[in-house]
Amino acid sequence: GVLSLDVGRHTCIVAGAEVPLTATELNVLRVLMQSPGRVTGRAQLVDAVWGVGSPVSDRTLDSHLRNLRAKLAAAGCTDAIETLHGVGLRMGSCVG
């Protein structure tokens, strides 16, 4: 697809160009990309990225999602992460 992720090298590539991500942004993207097309609940995403029982708030997750979406959009991948209100998040069509 247009977007690829190499967790071992900590790199995200969109259309051949590297997109610099923080460790948390990379982990959020990793979790969503592990099951493309499937919805991941917000609590499930928080548990996968920060650990089960972590006191991370919705605002913290929203902040990381906003930054991640902005970086991917700037690289030409505007629809990478879809929000299904009341359900969760899933990877969009940018993954191919």
Residue 93: both structure tokens together: 């069509």
pTM, rounded to two decimals: 0.91
Rg (CA), the chain: 12
Whether pLDDT at 88 is above 60? yes
pLDDT digits (tens, 9 = 90+) for 37-68: 899 999 999 999 999 988 998 899 999 999 99
- Name the residue among 7, 62, 60, 56 with its Cα closest to residue 34: 7
State the pLDDT confidence band at 78, using cuts at 50, 70 and 90.
Answer: confident
Give me the half-sphere count of Cα atoms (radius 13 Å) on the Cβ side of residue 80.
29
pLDDT digits (tens, 9 = 90+) for 6-32: 999 999 999 899 999 999 999 999 999
The predicted pLDDT at position 11 comes to: 95
